[in-house]
Amino acid sequence: MCGIVGAVAQRDVAEILVEGLRRLEYRGYDSAGVAIINNRELSRVRRVGKVSELADALQSQPHAGGTGIAHTRWATHGEPNEVNAHPHRSEDIAVVHNGIIENYESLREMLRGKGYEFVSDTDTEVIAHLVLDKLKATGSLLQAVQEARKEMTGAYGMAVIDQNQPEHLVVARSGSPLVIGLGIGENFVASDQMALLPVTRKFMFLEEGDVAEITRTDVSIFDLNDKPVERTASESDLKHDAGDKGEYRHFMMKEIHEQPEALAATLEGRIVNGEIVTEAFGANSNDILKKVEAIQIVACGTSYNSAMASRYWFEEIAGIPCQVEIASEFRYRKSVVLPNSLLITLSQSGETADTLAALRMAKDLGFMSTLTICNVPGSSLVRESDLAYMMRAGVEIGVASTKAFTVQLAGLMLLILSIAKHRGVDPALIQEITQGLTELPKQIEKALEMEEAIKVLAEDFADKHHTLFLGRGSQYPIAMEGALKLKEISYIHAEAYAAGELKHGPLALIDDDMPVIVVAPNNDLLEKLKSNMEEVRARGGQLYVFADKNAGFESAEGVKVIELDHINNYLAPVLYTIPMQLLSYYVAIIKGTDVDQPRNLAKAVTVE
């Protein structure tokens, strides 16, 4: 959710902090702030709105100083105003925080009793006072954070500085990611390595419960029990310009266009000489995949939609039972786990709080093993799962997920084919789909050529308040994803229905003001889908049909047809996602919404 950046350097760090925040803005964007120590004096600048507001303020009033922390906020406690913006102060110290302190009310009462005054509505201010309280007793910032941490419950990542000890900053991780960036004679911290790519490529990921003291030349890390620990440093292979829009107006459009490349990257080395390399899921994956008899997938948002699509494939291709559930539901209900079940988490970020909580329950629930399909190396889901498939989609910054979705689908298909192989499924079928996978990047590239036609189509939607998306079979989740994209970035209410369910309710909504989008590849459900479309047409609904060019659709009064090339039936969901993404993008452009950072949403939801 929120983004944190910190630095201890000899040079002035304001610019580095602001650039880091810009790169983290996708995480949250209702206010931003920095606190910098110069000559043992802490100064703070905070602004409501985007990081650019803060950058302008610092431009007109530069702040020198080599130790600082910065934050971009996604409000949880207290409205997005300047008083609630981070960093929060308590006398000589300043704190930035990502996450939620669940017991903040009782801590606030306790601290009020000791004479601390609260000026904001945030839970973070509690941390500032609590750390100061401990600092007064111990004199050490590190110890103060370690002591304070023991009294706090909830999920957080935080960074603290003290104007009397400018040579170091102290950070703590519990539930929200933090990475330390190692420089030469300077060190940094951030909630995502992306923020620090302009200054270093060497990173050290903190583990759950870690507290670290960072100086210009040293990093000392302590675990949950305050014991010194070593964490390994690694070089990032992220491109330096990964956080730039390049020639595109928005990250979302850049990411839509990166899909052919991202799909090729995810398949590279995983299909060799036409054969799936089953080790793509981890060194001992074969032993586990051989034994698997049931699949349970948990995920949120777009990742949930790709899980839903894969359910059709798991059962149809590999003949293995597969259940899919939203992580926030799964984690709070009692579920029955089938023997030899594999728990799969799907996540772009690898940090989604509900998905992570579901994974952490897995062992107790009796799952045989856990696998994550994830885009961020070193993320919590990757570190805590038995097996991991790295998506290699490249950094995704647009809040509305695009390339992560199609790449997840490809990864899921590789997994399904690997399991199918172990289960003795007809090699010809496996061969056919494997071949189809290798052709996907080219087919997606071709589908992107629809852009101009879809731009025109988008005009029809800009003044609409509602839209219905229909699909059947594995295209139903693609309709779900289409509806999610449209509502996320254009704020048009959009709902997806399995087309066969139309007459059980949504048909009542159809009139000439309700556009209906139909995902219609040429498969054995086509005739049934056509009947569903007639039901819409007969009631004056306007149909927009994304159809296989051989499916026999023609544009007519009340029906606009957009043709797609024929594709292997199993892989059609990947292809049909493309026009849905383009449509929502262009509708949002016409409506003038903030495409990359839609209101009220965040890219990585690290709180419940």
Stretch of residues binding ligand G6P (CB under 6 A), selected from 157-165, 271-279, 393-401, 418-426: 393-401
DSSP code string of 333-381: S--PPPTTEEEEEEESSS--HHHHHHHHHHHHHT-SEEEEEESSTT-HH
Asked whether position 331 contacts ligand G6P by CB under 6 A, the answer is no
Stretch of residues binding ligand G6P (CB under 6 A), selected from 197-205, 309-317, 348-356, 494-502: 348-356
- Minimum distance of ligand G6P from residue 391's CB (angstroms): 10
Q: Which residues pair with 68 in a beta bridge?
A: 7, 36
Question: Judged by CB, which is closer to ligand G6P: 222, or 304?
Answer: 304
Of residues 221, 417, 605, 607, which one binds ligand G6P by CB under 6 A? 605
Asked whether position 380 contacts ligand G6P by CB under 6 A, the answer is no
Asked whether position 444 contacts ligand G6P by CB under 6 A, the answer is no
Question: Judged by CB, which is closer to ligand G6P: 132, or 480?
Answer: 480
Asked whether position 399 contacts ligand G6P by CB under 6 A, the answer is yes
Stretch 583-602 residues interacting with ligand G6P (CB under 6 A): 601
**Quick one: DSSP state of residue 224?**
T
> What six digits make up the tokens of 64?
């020198």
Q: Please state the length of the chain.
A: 608
Place of tokens 């120590």: 37
- Minimum distance of ligand G6P from residue 354's CB (angstroms): 8
> What six digits make up the tokens of 472?
């059947």
Question: Judged by CB, which is closer to ligand G6P: 266, or 401?
Answer: 401
Q: What distance in Å separates the CA atoms of residue 447 and residue 470, rounded to the nearest whole number?
A: 20
Stretch 295-324 residues interacting with ligand G6P (CB under 6 A): 300-303
Asked whether position 401 contacts ligand G6P by CB under 6 A, the answer is yes
Q: What distance in Å separates the CA atoms of residue 265 and residue 281, rounded to the nearest whole number?
A: 15
The residues assigned a catalytic role are: 2, 603
Asked whether position 355 contacts ligand G6P by CB under 6 A, the answer is yes
- Minimum distance of ligand G6P from residue 173's CB (angstroms): 18
Number of residues that bind ligand G6P (CB under 6 A): 16
Question: Judged by CB, which is closer to ligand G6P: 31, or 375?
Answer: 375
Question: Judged by CB, which is closer to ligand G6P: 6, or 243?
Answer: 243
Question: Judged by CB, which is closer to ligand G6P: 273, or 600?
Answer: 600
**How many CB atoms within 10 Å of residue 522?**
18
* Closest-approach residue to ligand G6P (CB): 301
**Strand-by-strand arrangement of the 219-222 sheet:** 88-90, 93-101, 154-162, 168-174, 211-215, 219-222, 228-229
Question: Judged by CB, which is closer to ligand G6P: 143, or 305?
Answer: 305
Q: What distance in Å separates the CA atoms of residue 389 and residue 176, rounded to the nearest whole number?
A: 22
Rg (CA), the chain: 25
Asked whether position 352 contacts ligand G6P by CB under 6 A, the answer is yes
Asked whether position 603 contacts ligand G6P by CB under 6 A, the answer is yes
Asked whether position 348 contacts ligand G6P by CB under 6 A, the answer is yes
**Quick one: DSSP state of residue 556?**
B
Q: What distance in Å separates the CA atoms of residue 570 and residue 547, rounded to the nearest whole number?
A: 15
- Minimum distance of ligand G6P from residue 572's CB (angstroms): 22
Helix or strand run (H / E) with residue 128: helix 124-138
- Minimum distance of ligand G6P from residue 417's CB (angstroms): 22
Which one-letter amino acid corresponds to residue 103? N
Closest CA to 178 of 98, 239, 85, 240: 98
Stretch of residues binding ligand G6P (CB under 6 A), selected from 23-31, 86-94, 346-354, 361-369: 346-354
Question: Judged by CB, which is closer to ligand G6P: 462, or 601?
Answer: 601
Q: What distance in Å separates the CA atoms of residue 61 and residue 55, rounded to the nearest whole number?
A: 10
- Minimum distance of ligand G6P from residue 120's CB (angstroms): 26
Question: Is the dihedral angle over the CA atoms 441, 446, 448, 454 positive or is it negative?
Answer: negative
Buried residues in 255-268 as b, exposed as e (16+ CB within 10 A): bbbbbbebbbbbbe
> What six digits make up the tokens of 498?
């399995």
How far is CA 20 from its chain centroid?
Answer: 18
Closest CA to 524 of 306, 304, 316, 307: 316
Stretch 243-302 residues interacting with ligand G6P (CB under 6 A): 300-302
Of residues 72, 146, 349, 380, which one binds ligand G6P by CB under 6 A? 349
Question: Judged by CB, which is closer to ligand G6P: 343, or 399?
Answer: 399
Asked whether position 347 contacts ligand G6P by CB under 6 A, the answer is yes
- Minimum distance of ligand G6P from residue 496's CB (angstroms): 15
Residues at the contact surface with ligand G6P, assessed by CB under 6 A: 300-303, 347-349, 352, 355, 399-401, 601, 603-605
